[in-house]
Structure 1
Amino acid sequence: MYQRILVATDGSELSEQAVTSAIDLALLTQSELFAVKVSHHQSAGYFEGSLLLNQMDAARLRDEADAESQRVVDAVKDKADARGVKKTTGIVVRSEGVSEAIIDAARVHQCDLIVMASHGRRGIRRLLMGSETLHVLTHSHTPVLVLR
């Protein structure tokens, strides 16, 4: 059925439910599991309406985001290993585009399923900000399992 399952996580409670389901599915199908966390790096510029940071502060913030992302995927790996998943790989992707990074990771690691949570944005927030999950659903060539 499935050989390689990618689970996208952001460390939130909802994505933890997706992680648990992905682990269950990996155990059921004896699949490898790839836990992906995108370390979202915003570019620092003058026209973004953000605070201006010097290079050292910007680098420190990126390093902190990367360390937190690594902690999240390490926790997924530990949980999967404890449950008996045959092989789990934690991947941190540094990117400005979350959904594109998830799709690329699934392609690069030859995954045959992406598991992710729906983040439940509704109304004007969804219209203005979009949905990373919806973008993955509509642009991925890999099947996507969305959990609510």
Structure 2
Amino acid sequence: MFKRILVATDGSRLSKKAVAGAIAMAAQHDADLVALTVVPHYPKSYYEDTAFTREDVSRIEKQWADTAQRGLDAVAQRARAAGVRIKTATVNSNLVADAVIAAAKKHKSDLIVMASHGRKGLKRLLLGSETQHVLAHSTLPVLVLR
């Protein structure tokens, strides 16, 4: 049914559940898996007392990218152990949901798998939901796991 599944992961406990589900689904459908992590840009401060040098920002962003890559490497290892063909990708963007949708299109995925914290009410309003944004704006099917 599915030929290429994109799973978005941030390395959190909840997204690891989504990864496990995506790996199982890819194995079941003999589908390729694309594991994606979106790494945000470091926020730049406009206050003199907290300004960082370009080198500081570059160092921090590199640490985030290295951490993301280690997480993707772990996902790839799990997928290969399950006999799943996998490709990993990292995107640098502050617009996480838009980056997930764009990556799914770029990799010609036919399903997006994501986790959701299941926040409701004021918490959802204040914290937002990347998963909700993907659900609302993607033309591809989205499987949300909790």
Do they fold alike, i.e. is TM over 0.5?
yes
CA distance in 2, matches of 1:43, 1:137: 26
By how many angstroms is 1:45 displaced? Answer: 4.0
CA distance in 1, matches of 2:13, 2:134: 20
By how many angstroms is 1:77 displaced? Answer: 0.5
Helix, strand or coil for the counterpart of 1:115? Answer: strand
CA distance in 1, matches of 2:42, 2:62: 13
By how many angstroms is 1:121 displaced? Answer: 2.6
Please give the root-mean-square deviation of Cα atoms over the aligned residues, in Å: 1.4
* Counterpart for residue 9 of structure 2: 9
* Counterpart for residue 96 of structure 1: 94
- Contact in 1 for aligned 2:2/2:29 (Cα 8 Å): yes
Amino-acid identity (%): 48
Q: Any gaps of 5 or more consecutive residues in structure 1? A: none
Once the two structures are superposed, residues 26-78 of structure 1 have per-residue CA deviations (whole angstroms, 9 ceiling, x without a partner) of: 0000000000011111441417xx93211110110000011011111111001
* Counterpart for residue 123 of structure 2: 125
Letter in 2 for 1:17: K
Once the two structures are superposed, residues 16-35 of structure 1 have per-residue CA deviations (whole angstroms, 9 ceiling, x without a partner) of: 11101100000000000000
Q: Any gaps of 5 or more consecutive residues in structure 2? A: none
Size of the alignment, in residue pairs?
145
Letter in 1 for 2:36: V
2:39 corresponds to 1:54: no
* Counterpart for residue 37 of structure 1: 37
* Counterpart for residue 66 of structure 1: 65
Helix, strand or coil for the counterpart of 1:33? Answer: strand
91-100 or 36-45, larger mean C-alpha shift: 36-45
Once the two structures are superposed, residues 91-117 of structure 1 have per-residue CA deviations (whole angstroms, 9 ceiling, x without a partner) of: 111111111110000000000000010
Calculate the TM-score normalised by the size of structure 1.
Answer: 0.93
CA distance in 2, matches of 1:120, 1:8: 16
